[in-house]
Amino acid sequence: IKIKKKTETVKENDIIEKLRIVYENIESKDWKVRNSSIDELTEIVVCNPKLFKNQKLLFPLFDKIAERGKDTNTKISIHITKSLIKIIEVLKANVDPVLVNFVSIYLNNLSSTNKLLQVETLKLINILIDPKYEVDQTKILKIFSYGILHIPNTKIKELLLEKMIVISSNLFQSKPSVLYKQLIPTIIELLKIKKNGIRHSITRLLRHLSEIYGKQEFENILTSQYIDNYNEICTLIETIFQSPFQAKLFSNYYEDIFADGTFYATPKFSNQLFITRTYVSKINMFYITSISILKNKQDTYEVLFNEIKKKAFNLIENF
């Protein structure tokens, strides 16, 4: 046993020495040296994941990973993102203490003009919210909420709001109170942004929350803790149209849209009507407008048509 422990100690010391060299090289001015060091670093971690349960080794590792995530050379940023995915896949929940150290940095890479970096960053985000990898979703929720509020790029806000749907599903069973206490204030802050894309993403998220909590329970949460925003939130959840403009388009073109039980685009491309995914209680189903909407279900289709038509005219009258 003593021999085995001594052997393990020698091996660990060898790895620590290798890491020291890699950490020096990964900051080299020569991008090729930095690039090859990323491969060496990834191999060390993937082959010795248990070693990085030690936070004295974990924190320096992710300090270097965070630095390279901001590398001015896009090739390096792409490479380290790919490597980070591999590292998280083996370390899993062991990355929890350092999430705040690197996630926000990598979220900013979603706004890169380099499409490949965007794609790899999105893969990283999907790994972080995949329950299979056991990453702390409470911490991810808080980091993503901060990103949604402070990253100026609207498209990134919308993307992260979509990912919140997955995170909320992950957290609901274990931490339902943490979920709404963190998420609803973020949503309320975003309601100040009067952009259709943001409001569409908020609406989808609110409807998801209403679905997983149950309509009555979710309304109880809103009335007990967020009464000032109750009406606005409930309106978003219930309404089909995201603006009076959409409702007006519908009222002008609904005969063309619903001709022969099939969804058709409005005459001008710039005026195409996209009705938001919503919940219609009469037919008890979700629907998405498309060229094949319910074309084989005429009875259901007629109920849906009348429901949408009624809501369109009501919204116009109240505006």
C-alpha atoms less than 13 angstroms from C-alpha of 68 in its C-beta half-sphere: 33
Residue labelled with tokens 């899993």: 92
Question: Which residue range(s) make up the domain with 204?
Answer: 136-238
Same domain assignment for residues 161 and 184: yes
| Average pLDDT of the residues of the chain | 81
Same domain assignment for residues 15 and 97: yes
Same domain assignment for residues 205 and 169: yes
Same domain assignment for residues 52 and 169: no
* pLDDT single digits (tens) 47-59: 999 999 999 999 9
pLDDT at 71 over 90: yes
Between 76 and 201, the more confident residue is 76
CATH number at residue 146: 1.25.40
Same domain assignment for residues 101 and 1: yes
Q: Domain boundary at 204, 238, 272, which?
A: 238
Same domain assignment for residues 188 and 294: no
Same domain assignment for residues 181 and 223: yes
Q: Domain boundary at 134, 157, 178, which?
A: 134
Per-residue model confidence (pLDDT) at position 124: 97
Same domain assignment for residues 217 and 271: no
Same domain assignment for residues 182 and 233: yes
Q: Domain boundary at 107, 134, 161, which?
A: 134
Same domain assignment for residues 53 and 174: no
Per-residue model confidence (pLDDT) at position 289: 40
Same domain assignment for residues 11 and 38: yes
Per-residue model confidence (pLDDT) at position 44: 97
